[in-house]
Structures are given as structure tokens and as C-alpha cells.
Amino acid sequence: MAELRPLRCEFGVLERADGSARVVQGATSVLAGVYGPAEVKAGKERSNRASLEIVVKPARGQGGVRERFLEQLLAGCCEQCILASLHPHTALSVVLQIHTDQGSLLSTLCLALCLALVDSGLPLSSPFSSLSTACSPDGDLLTDPSLAQEQASQSLVTVMTDCSSGRVISTHTQGVCSLQQLESSLAHAEKAGEKMKQFYQKAVQRRLAKDAKFSHLNIAI
């Protein structure tokens, strides 16, 4: 059984955003805000769909090439779940602020993105989840690694899956891995997707019940 770090989320953290969520996974913390569908800048207007903009802000300093790379990855992931053709001639922007990066940053960003979209009430084709898996030099697989585990490992595979069908939306890998490791990372991510779906449902129930903003879960897959 693969352990995941404790996962926490909080909805409606930003008053002026149309949807927002803070996700804390282990010691990694990320805040996401969704703005839109709103007026679109000239030149970015698309006649058949909403134009999507994702901004990733690092904990300190200006964003660089790494942040642009994360933005492209997340935009590719988001495009598959937002029904962009429902909102033609509009712009949709998502801002993701990194608070602390203590491992599995990309998957935490992905969860925050999904929960903020859920909070904004935009129709989604399905919720999506994400799981990072690190492979240690001995060949052991570590799901949801911390920063120290990530640095000691020889590869890191992040898979984003569609929670309802279990199909792969996006993947990103770093380092050297074998085909077997890749296969088991994909299988772990699929299993985690089902757990995450339950977590999302629980989180939304809490939000609608208005008794507590926090949703908290210790999960194992």
C-alpha cells in the first residue's frame, strides 16, 4: 500500500476571486485563484472558445523559465477539463501562488487548480487529480515524495489523471526511469485518482454544509 502525505484543502480563501482554494500536501502549500469568464484582451479573443491564461508565481522573486514551463504543462492539463467552448469571446485566468515547495510541487499545483475551478462553479467535464512518484536508486517507488526524497531519487514521474475515467491527461517526467517504473507510476496515479475523487466529494460537501471551510484527509492508495 502506497502512502500519501496528509492532504488539506480550504475553499474561498480569496474574497475577490471567482473561485479559490488553498491546498496543503505534506509541507507543500499552494494557493490558487480563478478569475472569469471575464472580458478578454484584444488579440487574445477566440470566437469559438474561452482563452485560458495560467500564471504560476514562485514563493519569492520573479517567475522564470521554470514557471513558464509549469504554466504550459498546467494549461495543457486544464484545457481538457474546462468546457472552454461554453464561454466564447471571454478570458479565463488562473493564478497559482506557491507558498512552500517541499516536494511534489507539480501535483499539488494541479490539485489546487482543480479545486479552485470546482469552487468557481465553472462546468468541468470531469475533475482531475495528480500524483508524483519518485524512484529511489535502489529501484523502490515512493508515491508523493517529499523534497528530500525527490532530491535523493533518480527519477520523478508526475501523472495527471481524469478522476472519472482514469485516463491519463498529462504526464511529466524528470530523470532516468525504466519502462516498468513508468507502468507502475501510471497504475498508482490511476488508483490515487479514485481516492482523490472521494476527497473532492467530501471537500465539496463540507463547503456546501458551511460548517467548516477545512477539509482534511489522510489517504493511502
Partner 1 sequence: MELDFKALQPAEYLATFLVSPNPLLLFSVGSFVQEHGLRPDGRKADEARPVTVNTGSVSTADGSALVRMGGTLVTCGVKAELSNPPVESGDCGYLVCNVDLPPLCSPRVTPGPPTPRGQSLSQHLQDTLISCRCVDVKDLIVGQDNLCWVLYLDVVCLCDNGNVRDAVFFAATAALRNTSLPTVDVSSGSPEVSYQQRHPLSLPHLPLAISYSLFESHILLDPFHEEEELSSGHVSVVVLSHLKMGQPDCKLIGGLTKSGPPSLPSQKLIELVHRAQKRARLLADLLLTASGDKKT
CA–CA dist 128, 167 (Å, integer)? 10
Minimum Å gap between C-beta 24 and partner 1 is 26
58 is an interface residue for partner 1 by CB under 8 A: no
Residue closer to partner 1 (CB basis): 35 or 128: 128
Q: Give CA 137 to chain center in angstroms.
A: 27
Q: How many residues does the chain have?
A: 221
Minimum Å gap between C-beta 97 and partner 1 is 20
- 134 CB-near residues (< 8 Å, 6+ apart): 141, 142, 145, 149, 150, 153, 155, 156, 157
Minimum Å gap between C-beta 27 and partner 1 is 23
Minimum Å gap between C-beta 169 and partner 1 is 5
85 is an interface residue for partner 1 by CB under 8 A: no
Cell of 87: 464561454
13 is an interface residue for partner 1 by CB under 8 A: no
Residue closer to partner 1 (CB basis): 180 or 218: 180
Q: What is the dihedral of CA 72, 59, 201, 78, to 10 degrees?
A: -10
- 25 CB-near residues (< 8 Å, 6+ apart): 4, 5, 6, 7, 8, 104, 107, 108, 111, 144
194 is an interface residue for partner 1 by CB under 8 A: no
131 is an interface residue for partner 1 by CB under 8 A: no
187 is an interface residue for partner 1 by CB under 8 A: yes
Q: Which residue has the cell 492508495?
A: 221
Contact positions toward partner 1, by CB under 8 A?
65-66, 68-69, 72-73, 76-77, 79-80, 155, 157, 161-162, 165-179, 182-183, 186-187, 190
